[in-house]
């Protein structure tokens, strides 16, 4: 039985980088965003139900995220219908990963882990964190969104200090080396618990 470790953190906190550090330590990784990409891609399980409900959202055989944003922009209530299609498919993808995984520790990279109640299915939760000003600089330095868009995303996420207080472990991602040391310590601690279980 593998140990299920939830990995969460707000936008720009270094979650994807931290996830890769766990992979380097031999952990299995399931990424919620990557799962959605698979479902939306050509031949993905979400394409057909989306086409039925939102024909405009499917472009060249794949679900277009930009088109979905336009659909939600015109009709905010569409988000609920989209979630009703996508969430069960994501849950199936995650379940299939758990069945096929061979690692002793499985890391679940889920941005809205606490917001969706996904933490209850985990054995422990890691939250990545940096000071708010560093977070803002990091996100805006990517050049992919405006400050207003960043604030809008941040407003939908649980405040960072609340996520930190609910988590079993915290990884400060101010530098890669610092993050790596913390990840190694977490993995060593969990492997020690598994050995003594």
43-99 tens-digit pLDDT: 999 999 999 999 999 999 999 999 998 999 999 899 999 999 999 999 999 999 999
Query: Do residues 151 and 67 both lie within one domain?
Result: no
Residue 93 · residue 39 · CB < 8 Å: yes
Is the entire prediction scored with pTM above 0.85?
yes
Query: Do residues 151 and 69 both lie within one domain?
Result: no
Query: Do residues 117 and 190 both lie within one domain?
Result: yes
- What is the pLDDT at residue 157? 86
Residue ending a domain, choose from 68, 102, 136: 102
Query: Do residues 51 and 71 both lie within one domain?
Result: yes
Mean per-residue pLDDT for 37-45?
96
Query: Do residues 41 and 20 both lie within one domain?
Result: no
DSSP 23-76: HHTT-EEEEHHHHHHHHHSTT-TTHHHHHHH-GGGEETTEE-HHHHHHHHHH-T
**The CA-based dihedral angle spanning residues 174, 152, 110, 78, taken in that order and rounded to the nearest 10 degrees:** -170
Quote the CA–CA distance of 109 and 7 in Å, as a whole number: 5
Query: Do residues 151 and 62 both lie within one domain?
Result: no
Q: Is the pLDDT of residue 38 over 90?
A: yes
pLDDT band at residue 9 under the 50/70/90 scheme: very high
Name the domain count of the chain: 2
Query: Do residues 46 and 96 both lie within one domain?
Result: yes
Query: Do residues 15 and 41 both lie within one domain?
Result: no
- What is the pLDDT at residue 197? 79
Q: Is the pLDDT of residue 109 over 90?
A: yes
Beta strand extents in 64-123 (DSSP E only): 105-109
Tens digit of each residue's pLDDT (9 = 90 or more) over 123-170: 999 999 999 999 999 999 999 889 998 988 888 889 999 999 999 999
Domain assignment of residue 17, given as a range: 1-27+105-197
- What is the pLDDT at residue 156? 82
Q: Is the pLDDT of residue 39 over 90?
A: yes
């Amino acid at each position: 039985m593998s140990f299920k470790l939830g990995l969460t953190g707000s936008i720009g906190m270094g979650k994807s980088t931290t996830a890769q550090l766990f992979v380097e330590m031999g952990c299995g990784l399931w990424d919620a965003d990557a799962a959605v990409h698979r479902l939306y891609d050509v031949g993905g399980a979400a394409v057909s139900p989306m086409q039925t409900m939102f024909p405009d959202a499917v472009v060249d055989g794949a679900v277009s995220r930009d088109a979905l944003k336009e659909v939600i922009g015109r009709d905010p209530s569409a988000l609920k219908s989209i979630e009703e299609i996508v969430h069960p498919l994501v849950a199936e993808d995650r379940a299939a990963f758990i069945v096929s995984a061979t690692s002793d520790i499985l890391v679940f990279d889920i941005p809205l882990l606490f917001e969706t109640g996904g933490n209850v299915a985990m054995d422990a939760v890691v939250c990545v964190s940096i000071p708010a000003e560093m977070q803002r600089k990091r996100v805006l330095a990517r050049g992919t969104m405006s400050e207003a868009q960043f604030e809008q995303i941040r407003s939908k996420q649980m405040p960072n200090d609340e996520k930190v207080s609910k988590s079993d472990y915290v990884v400060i991602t101010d530098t890669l080396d610092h993050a790596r040391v913390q990840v190694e310590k977490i993995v060593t601690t969990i492997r020690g618990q598994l050995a003594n279980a």
